Amino acid sequence: MVNCNLQRLDGPVRGNGKIIQELESFFRGAGWNVIKVVWGREWDALLHADRDGALVNLMNVTPDGDYQTYKANDGGYVREHFFGRDPRTKELVANLSDQDIWNLKRGGHDYRKIYAAYAAAMAHKGQPTVILAHTIKGYTLGKHFEGRNATHQMKKLTLDDLKNFRDLQRIPISDAELEKDPKMPPYYHPGPDAPEIQYMLDRRKALGGFLPQRRTGAAPLPQPADSTYDVVRKGSGKQQVATTMALVRIMKELLRDKEIGKRIVPIIPDEARTFGMDSWFPSLKIYNRNGQLYTAVDAELMLAYKESEIGQILHEGINEAGSTASFTAVGTSYATHGEPMIPLYIFYSMFGFQRTGDGLWAAADQMARGFVLGATAGRTTLTGEGLQHADGHSLLLASTNPAAVAYDPAFSYEIAHIVKDGLRRMYGGTDGVDGFGGEDIFYYITLYNEPYSQPAEPENLNVDGLLKGMYLFKKSQASGPKAQILVSGVTMPEGLRAQQLLADEWGVAADVWSVTSWGELRREGIEREQQALRDPGTDAPLPYVTQALSDAAGPFVAASDWMRAVADQIRQWVPGSYTTLGTDGFGFSDTRPAARRYFNVDAESIVVAVLSALAGEGTLDRSKAVEAATKYRIDDVRAAAVSYADTGSA
């Protein structure tokens, strides 16, 4: 049902047109049954007497802007400016008083017409039905409110307004009671045995109680075997693999799972081929209720585009808003249909949180669950395609959504553990009050299009630390001054190269930490601080960041392909001097090495940052940092390509 009061906050929705007619055309064109409730029963006698169709013609040619104006005036105004435009309609209301004309209701305020519309809708079979009801904004609040643009700014009713409202609603409160204190009008209750109260109580009982409650009969999903993730946990060997492809490989295995596979719904706004998902076209097929009525241009190829009425992929075209809506529908199916489904919404970098962040907030509000994948993430990985692909801030936007669990993994085995944990947390729980359990969260995983060697999962991997947001990945074997490098995502190869440069050329032992989630580290730190605030008499556990880094010697330098503010989220819990490097600014359209030199997040820049931090602590002479900055020419983007070529990484 659509309540058509014709108004937005500042004026009419369609001042020169008719929104009801416009909506009718949309719904009828989409195959819906449309019921319009335009005029109240007071108009019936006039319409019956309208032998020439003059009144119907006036109704049809009067734009919405005029209908708003009529209700902001009085019956005399309507007589002159509406009925008075045609001698035949003027004659129709000649015997009506101005008050009679004013009392001509619109259909949405006639409960008999509304009831009839609902009855007709329930009786109609074979189509969905929409009811378009013509109403008045501010109805029954009086002439100072009805149809007025300023209604949202008006906070109080005058005494006359109160009396008029009382009369219209037939509320048994006397003038004396209202005049006693107009600022605090009395409440009216018809009594516990009144039919209205009994009706409302009966309805609440039928609905299950007075408070809204999420109820679902869905059962937790059996979790895939650990071996499902082995395909990426063993590393890529000599092959270079981007983390986007690693995720696709994991999902390929999950799609084969007898229980989980049929519940995964890939949602793609566009460019599935870019993300390596075209291999899913022949097997999963793209959903289209009409099937495929044409021959695809690539029909002869093994990975041809294939639509089907039983397709599993939702391919939305270039439509992020529609894709987010699909994510919400699939992600809430555990409650709305009692069938847990797993949406897999993949999009180009910031097209998700920047373009449709409000839609993802709405998804969180509706307790949607699933995976949101920001492919081609980072500000330096897709530099040649303009600022719309230079994403250095989506992780910050994601951090504002309480339901978004955001990860920025560097390696394929990290993604495996994150996906596995996400399935467990969202779909494997049994402790929920509704029987389904699990957590009302969704996972946002940033993925990169840059291929590099994926290491095998370390034997003694700190999985708990990985999931909390940080773990020690590679301890330096060098001797000398100590330092710590905290790095995430696609910047990890730069961090590892910086570790090698520091050891080989400057005699510094820098350990490399993989930060899988700056945001989750921050949330845990805030929880610890809140715990301490609420119970100051008890020693609250230290934040995980502080615990993990407490035995780490030397200064801390963080680097990522994101704005410095991303790494700055954990600053207050880092137990020592903390330097952050990031990609602040719009972007730099050149090669990746040049862009990283421009933002100073490449290996050489990390080296200089570590040496400067050591100098700040008095461990090294500052001349070492100056020497390194001069040697690596970290202020010259042209030198970056040379540095990469020297390492064989170009």
The terminus-to-terminus CA distance of the chain in angstroms comes to 60
Query: If you write DSSP's letter for every residue of 303-360 in order, what string do you get?
Result: T---EETT--BEE--S-HHHHHHHHHHHHTHHHHTS---EEEEEEEGGGTHHHHHHHH
- CB atoms < 10 A from the CB of 217, how many? 11
**Locate tokens 């790494």: which residue?**
567
**Full set of structural domains in the chain with CATH:** 2-155 (3.40.50.970), 242-452 (3.40.50.970), 469-647 (3.40.50.920)
Spell out, as residue ranges, where the chain has pLDDT lower than 50.
431-434, 648-650
**Locate tokens 């994150």: which residue?**
418
- Helix axis angle for 592-599 and 603-616, nearest 10°, is 20
pTM, two decimals, is 0.84
How many Cα neighbours within 13 Å face the side chain of 287?
Answer: 11
DSSP state of 136: -
How confident is the model at residue 644, as a pLDDT? 52
27 phi, psi to nearest 5 deg: -70, -40
**Nearest-CA neighbor of 137 among 152, 119, 122, 116?**
152
Distance, in Å, from the CA atom of 630 to the CA atom of 176, rounded to the nearest integer, reads: 88
Contact present, 485 and 512 (Cβ < 8 Å): yes
Distance, in Å, from the CA atom of 123 to the CA atom of 137, rounded to the nearest integer, reads: 30
Positive or negative torsion for Cα 484, 485, 487, 490:
negative
How confident is the model at residue 406, as a pLDDT? 98
Distance, in Å, from the CA atom of 547 to the CA atom of 629, rounded to the nearest integer, reads: 33
Query: If you write DSSP's letter for every residue of 409-447 in order, what string do you get?
Result: -SSHHHHHHHHHHHHHHHHS----TTSS---S-EEEEE-
User: Token digits for 526?
Assistant: 């805030």
How confident is the model at residue 642, as a pLDDT? 57
User: Token digits for 586?
Assistant: 């719009």
User: Token digits for 93?
Assistant: 């209301």
How confident is the model at residue 373, as a pLDDT? 95
Contact present, 232 and 415 (Cβ < 8 Å): yes
**Locate tokens 């081929």: which residue?**
273
- Helix axis angle for 638-647 and 592-599, nearest 10°, is 120
How confident is the model at residue 641, as a pLDDT? 59
Distance, in Å, from the CA atom of 56 to the CA atom of 79, rounded to the nearest integer, reads: 16
**Nearest-CA neighbor of 215 among 76, 336, 72?**
336
Distance, in Å, from the CA atom of 25 to the CA atom of 4, rounded to the nearest integer, reads: 15
**Nearest-CA neighbor of 610 among 561, 568, 564, 555?**
555
Positive or negative torsion for Cα 243, 245, 249, 255:
positive
**Nearest-CA neighbor of 575 among 608, 607, 542, 621?**
542
Pairing between β-strand 470-474 and β-strand 509-515 as defined by DSSP bridges: antiparallel
**Locate tokens 């700040």: which residue?**
616
Partnered with residue 487 across adjacent β-strands are: 514, 559
Residues 6 or more apart in contact with residue 98 via CB below 8 angstroms: 74, 75, 76, 79
> How open is the CA angle 149-153-157, to the nearest 5 degrees?
100
**Nearest-CA neighbor of 94 among 85, 106, 84?**
84
User: Token digits for 400?
Assistant: 């504002």
How confident is the model at residue 432, as a pLDDT? 43
Pairing between β-strand 509-515 and β-strand 482-487 as defined by DSSP bridges: parallel
How confident is the model at residue 9, as a pLDDT? 82
E strands, 15-145, in order: 33-37, 129-134
Burial of 350 (0-12, 13-18, 19+ CB in 10 A): buried
Distance, in Å, from the CA atom of 509 to the CA atom of 610, rounded to the nearest integer, reads: 10
**Nearest-CA neighbor of 606 among 562, 648, 645, 560?**
560
**Locate tokens 């290491």: which residue?**
455
E strands, 166-292, in order: 240-241, 264-268, 286-287
